[in-house]
Structure 1
Amino acid sequence: MESYGSTSLEGLLQKSYTVKIGDYISSGFEIFKKNAGGFIGFTVVLVLINLVLAKINEAASPVGSLISLLISGPLNAGFLIVAFKVLRNRETAFGDFFRGFNNYVPLFLVSLVSGVLIGLGFVLLIIPGIYLAVSYTFALPLVLDKKMNFWDAMEFSRKLISKNWFSFFGFGFVLVLINFAGALLLGLGLLVTIPLSVGAIAAAYADIVGLPASSDF
């Protein structure tokens, strides 16, 4: 398998690991607290963008959906970029949330292709879709951190997470419950639970894959 940076991906696949759900969620909350204003502000921006795109869809369907498809990957990566900087104890700026556009093509492709495959998996009796949705958890972080191409990132994420898939499923299920609770609070709780969830995923990635100090962010 190809090596990205100084870390051998083959070596990572040979290691065993434990999914520490409670630790990752606690870390996610700590990451959120260290830049609460930025995370809340960016979440509000994403909500507003989605509302505008919904209006565009009503007026000129399916233009809004096409725009969403084109920008969702790089925008969603913004949470991870800032979370990684917080984990590395680096200063953050609001503009960091939009730095995913500096690496647009692989982030767009990993979002597009994984979304298509997950969607097809749900059509095929649902279970394959659930398997892929969990298995691709690290695909976006790998593109950001290891500068992997979209397919290598998806495949490596799938192979690594499949080693402990049911634990990751439990992790994902807990995050879904947390966001469901956030939605019940008139939706305002999502301003906290969405970035908390991404922070928890960033913490899991740092624990299992590793987060070297030498990086663009």
Structure 2
Amino acid sequence: MNQAKIQRIIESGVDFNIGDILGKAWEMFKSRALFHIGFMVLIGAIQASFTLYLLDYSSLYSIFLAPALFSGFYLVANRQSQKVYIDFQNYFDGFKYWLNLVTTNLFSAIVIVLGIICFVLPGVYLLVGYMFCLLFVIFGGFDFWTSMELSRKLVHTNWLKFFLFGLALLALNIAGFLCMIIGLFVTVPMTYLAVYILFEELTIDAIDEEPKDPVIYV
């Protein structure tokens, strides 16, 4: 992924249709529903294990396991988009980027919390702004600070639209929770698929002609 091309995209500004993104996420989810639900069940089981038996270590799960696990949805979404063969083990490919994902997730969370402490609004701005930071780590190969800044700058070009997109995803997951919680096994994967689809559509012109990583938008 070419950083100069990303900068040009940022300078030109971005726009998108929220309904279209959610519709594409639903279609992507349906095409591999059993895989997505199965992996979400696995994540739920891991989270439940920490809550029930390892509560004192639950922060370790959030810091060291969750970023790589949930990034599995991004990586499988990429393979779906490129019509590449998918195996269930591909959901664990996030651990190939483990250190950078953990670092980026931790630092972005710290900055967001500091922003919330500073009159709340800066935290809300950054919470939306860092929507794509993990994706820039995985598909761009950037370090944590570059990924955070590229994400923030990209979102800043149309922050209100991204905020509304985030609200739509929140409403989707609230609906999933209200469906006897089981609905979250559908809505959480859809959330990650939707974020990936939006990221791909916005940054597709920044892809190098000969990417070094074969997973990146072949």
Q: What is the TM-score normalised by the length of structure 2?
A: 0.91
CA contact (8 A) 2:112 2:127 kept: yes
1:53-79 residue CA offsets vs partner (Å, 9 max, x unmatched): 112444xx2x23223311111111101
Secondary structure of the structure 2 residue equivalent to 1:89: coil
Provide Cα deviations, 1:180-216, integer angstroms capped at 9, x if missing partner: 0000000111111111111111111111111759543
Looking at structure 2, the residues matched to 165 and 7 of structure 1 have their Cα atoms a distance apart, in angstroms, of: 21
Q: Percent identity?
A: 30
Aligned to 2:7: 10
Structure 1 Cα separation of the partners of residues 118 and 54 of structure 2: 28
Counterpart position of 1:195: 189
Match of 1:170 in 2: 164
Shift of 1:80: 0.4
Matches within 5 A, 1:1-217: 4-5=1-2, 8-58=5-55, 61=56, 63-210=57-204, 212=207, 214=211, 215-217=213-215
The count of corresponding residues between Structure 1 and Structure 2 is 211
| Distance 1:177-1:69 versus aligned 2 partners, 3 A rule | same
Q: TM-score, normalised by structure 1?
A: 0.91
Higher mean alpha-carbon deviation, 42-51 vs 203-212, is at 203-212
Deviation at 1:8, TM superposition (A): 2.4
- Larger deviation, residues 109-118 vs 152-161: 109-118
Contact 1:57 1:65 (8 Å CA) reproduced: no
Unmatched runs of 5 consecutive residues or more in structure 1: none
The answer on whether the counterparts of 1:79 and 1:198 sit within 8 Å (CA) in structure 2 is yes
